[in-house]
Amino acid sequence: MSRFSSLVRAYPLVIATLLVAMIGLVLLATPAIESASWIVGAYALVIAGWEAVGMIRQLIRGHAGLDILAVTAITAAVLVGEPWAALVVVLMLTGGAALEDYAENRSKRELTALLRKAPQQATRILAPSAPGADMHGHTAEVTTEDIPVEEVEVGDLLLVRPGALVPVDSILVSEHAVFDESSLTGESLPVERDAGEKVSSGAVNGQAAVTMRAAAPAAESEYQQIVRLVEQAAGSKAKVVRLADRYAVPFTVLALVIAGIAWAVSGEAVRFAEVLVVATPCPLLIAAPVAFLGGMSRAARFGLIVKGGGTLEQLSRARSAAFDKTGTITTGKPVLERLLPADRASEDELLRFAASAEVYSSHVLADSVVQAAKQHGLSLVEAEHAEEIATNGVAAVFRTPDAPEAVTVRVGKPSWVRHSAPDLVLADLAPGELAIYVSVDGRFAGAIVMRDQVREEAAQALRQLSALGIERTLMVTGDVAATAEPIARRLGISEVHAECRPGDKVRIVSSVQPRPLIMVGDGLNDAPVLAAADIGFAMGARGATAASESADIVNRYDTLSALPRAVSIGKDTVRIALQSIWLGIIISVGLMLIAAFGFLPALLGAWLQEVVDLVAILGALRAVGPRSERITRSSPVASTEQLHFSTTQDRK
């Protein structure tokens, strides 16, 4: 009963139409046969009037839609004595919303699957059960409470049970843990984390309960950001979803002309109605939105969150692509080459402070510093306060047992660190190396020298883009030309713009022809240019929030091969949408011509049009792709050997 009530609330006109049809059918079995036609006809005219009011409002706003055909068909069918044909058209018109909802739900299944997996609850540790209990999550019993994830505050101590989701971005307190991060990064193998390392919300804990300290509220945690992007994508009503509106006026005129000629030549007004009942517009109104939602769902299967159907349409026409370098063309996972501590610091102290600060950074180089500290067996320090400064670095305040006074650490590019440490000395870098600079309490602590690598899939991805119609490629980077140009030549990128600040990137990308242009980036400093491009493509696997929010597409998996995949999905989606629209138009025109010669009664024509609707929608659902379609890792096509080019620009 509750299910029926919900259906009545959701689709009252559909239920009302079915009830009128049932009443009419019952009356046909009684002496009051004429009453059935009067009731059905009157109801059909009421619905036509209701739709006409909405149509007039749309016309006042300057929007000429397809509703005029349905309204005219209903009215004409009633006036020429075909009320039951009119009722079938009404059923098609009112049932279109239910049909569209079903098709949309099926086409969005991958998007809604992401929403269902979002963390909902957290277990907060209130106090150890006895004095001296171990708070590292191993054997001690603790007093806990289950709370909604929205109530978690930064600094809360959390218990994450085996197989449970990490509720918010947190710092691991337990000595060691294993997590499944496949829903975040696409990495199928479990990931090991040690005490002091950051773990993103949405990761699945392994086989042992662990203790963590909340590092961000739910709204600012990684999986919740993904959820917000998915909700934005699922709720998008981009103008391209109204692709069929391009055909609205020509199709309406054609239908009215065929109907008018049929009436004029035959002298029978019923021909006018018979033509129009097969010219109803549901294939045009529903097919395009279903196809684009299906394309977005298919993209989500490959870790791509597309924020609207308009983005897929732009991708299908893209002709230029611009790339950031670090973390985009390169892995953004450089390996430690050497440590250059200043006279007052040791190598371990330099690396420990730098890594403890970089835990709070979203920059692509930060995780490499943390991993280097882990490999050196260093324990990290939890910050009292940390702040990331876009394009510059991260500042953090620590208090350690060895130093009762709080210390302020800066990690980042030399020009920024020098503001707090005027004694900074630039490192002497070999070709292919980059440096990260560190200051402690306003004094230069040293530099960390690392080496980055080109992504092994980059060359193949660029060749695929060329095959998909991308005519012009360029690298827009904050790095120096001596580093960027040889990488670009090796990968076949046609031009390089080096040493660019965020404003420079926006200016360059805005002037590039031909359009549309895809901009691929990953960091905070890429947010403005991602927003300025026709299609912003964020490499969002590491959770660079500003970049993800500014982009049109967020790639949750750390692979550049997702870009040609996105372009291919865009082309497939637009092709299927257009095929579905034209399929509906061609079949409808064919049925109109048959009806014009008097071979298709109005009632039969109305039911045939329902079949046309279903065919068009089923055709549009092809954009979802087969269920068996899954990510396949590209075989290496480019060597991962290190490229030996010099650099002096460290953090873009």
Active site residues: 324
Strands 517-521 and 535-539, bridge-based pairing = parallel
Does residue 41 contact residue 86 with C-beta atoms inside 8 Å? Answer: yes
Q: Provide the Cα torsion 226, 227, 229, 235; round to 10°.
A: 160
Number of residues in the chain? 652
CA distance 243 to 535: 19
Strands, E assignment, 274-402: 304-306, 320-323, 335-341, 383-389, 393-400
How many CA atoms, within 13 angstroms, populate the side-chain half-sphere of residue 344?
Answer: 10
Longest dimension (CA), the chain: 108
Question: Which structure tokens are listed for 270?
Answer: 């019923």
Q: Give 184's contacts (C-beta < 8 A, 6+ positions apart).
A: 200, 202, 203, 222, 223, 226, 541, 556
Q: What is the distance, to the nearest Å, from the Cα of residue 240 to the centroid of all Cα atoms in its chain?
A: 17
DSSP letter for 551, please.
-
SS3 607: helix
CA distance 276 to 553: 42
Does residue 278 contact residue 605 with C-beta atoms inside 8 Å? Answer: yes
Question: Which structure tokens are listed for 312?
Answer: 């897929």
Q: Provide the Cα torsion 241, 247, 253, 255; round to 10°.
A: -80
Q: What is the distance, to the nearest Å, from the Cα of residue 445 to the centroid of all Cα atoms in its chain?
A: 41
Does residue 557 contact residue 540 with C-beta atoms inside 8 Å? Answer: no
Does residue 234 contact residue 300 with C-beta atoms inside 8 Å? Answer: no
Does residue 365 contact residue 450 with C-beta atoms inside 8 Å? Answer: yes
Q: What kind and span of H or E run contains 581?
A: helix 562-596
Q: Give 312's contacts (C-beta < 8 A, 6+ positions apart).
A: 240, 292, 295, 296, 299, 306, 569, 570, 573, 574
β-strand partners of 122: 147
Sheet holding 121-128, edge to edge: 142-148, 121-128, 157-160, 210-214, 170-172, 198-199
Amino acid at position 518, single letter: I
CA distance 407 to 399: 6
CA distance 310 to 570: 10
DSSP letter for 609, please.
H
SS3 19: helix
Q: What is the rounded end-to-end Cα distance, in angstroms, of the chain?
A: 61
Amino acid at position 348, single letter: D
Check the CA dihedral 631-635-640-643 and report its sign.
negative
Question: CA 507, 509, 512: angle at the middle one, nearest 5?
Answer: 110
CA distance 325 to 477: 6
